[in-house]
């Protein structure tokens, strides 16, 4: 469903005294339809750049990005993007925020209300439909942001450290809710995280990236059966070995970054 072939991405500096920054170097990857794939790697290794290329926000300097075999040369409307920030409109209620994309697409009021009520119930936000973002907790705002993206049924869900700023307990709850939604809908997900436990708990595969310029160092299949229990993922017999395999590759890059 998603293909990157020999992709390079350079960023030209605004000041001539600064060297050209190579964000990605010869990156090739494939993501199958319905697959959940996580990207892990050192900060600044190009994980978010990959998401931005797939979304069509950026174009590769060299190489090709394809969606269902077609080059991505403009904004990719098949994607839904969940960022680190919740990006909710502060002047709109929870319901109105989640309805926004459907409203823009001209979906009738009654139809979009049905969709929104179902999604809000699915993530435990019943009773908060008329609250404004400042009246919600961080976890509630993140849930609203995720279902706002799901409301218009994107084919691909791009998630850039969506739970990174949350406390550990809230993060676990949202991981569990995300997996439940994914298991029901089976959308294609590309998920960026620095949390190795999160990557293993959620994913079919984990791709480990090098420090900048970013390359794919390793592809690790997560052979833990689904449905998964994120609250007790450490107890699964396969977990320690998977964690060590991911960490073996990543620790070398982090060590190189410290050198």
pLDDT at residue 196, rounded to an integer: 96
User: What are the structural domains, with CATH classification, of the chain?
Assistant: 1-72+183-259 (3.40.50.300)
pLDDT of amino acid 252: 86
Q: What is the pTM of this model?
A: 0.91
Given a cut of 70, the residues of the chain with pLDDT beneath it are 15-18, 256-259
Q: pLDDT, tens digit, for every residue of 128-167? A: 999 999 999 888 998 898 888 888 889 999 999 988 878 8
pLDDT at 259: 47
Look-up of token digits 């592809």:
219
């Amino acid at each position: 469903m998603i293909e990157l072939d020999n992709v390079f991405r350079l960023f030209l500096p605004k000041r001539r005294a600064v060297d050209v920054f190579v964000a990605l170097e010869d990156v090739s990857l494939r993501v199958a339809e319905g697959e959940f794939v996580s990207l892990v790697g050192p900060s600044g290794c190009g994980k978010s750049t990959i998401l931005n290329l797939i979304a069509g926000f950026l174009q590769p300097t060299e190489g090709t990005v394809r969606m269902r075999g077609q080059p991505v040369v403009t904004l990719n409307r098949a994607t839904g993007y969940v960022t680190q920030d919740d990006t909710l409109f502060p002047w709109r209620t929870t319901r109105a925020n989640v309805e926004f994309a459907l409203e823009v697409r001209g979906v009738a009021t009654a139809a979009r209300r049905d969709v929104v009520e179902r999604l809000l119930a699915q993530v435990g936000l019943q009773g908060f439909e008329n609250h404004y973002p400042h009246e919600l907790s961080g976890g509630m705002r993140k849930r609203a942001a995720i279902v706002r993206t799901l409301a218009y049924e994107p084919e691909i869900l791009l998630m850039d450290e969506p739970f990174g700023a949350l406390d550990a307990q809230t993060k676990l709850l949202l991981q569990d809710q995300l997996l439940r939604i994914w298991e029901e809908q089976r959308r294609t997900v590309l998920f960026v995280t620095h949390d190795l436990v999160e990557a293993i708990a959620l994913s079919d595969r984990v791709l480990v990236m090098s420090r900048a310029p970013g390359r794919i160092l390793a592809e690790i299949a997560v052979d833990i059966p689904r449905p998964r229990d994120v609250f007790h993922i450490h107890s699964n017999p396969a977990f320690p070995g998977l964690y060590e395999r991911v960490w073996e590759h990543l620790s070398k890059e982090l060590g190189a970054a410290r050198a």
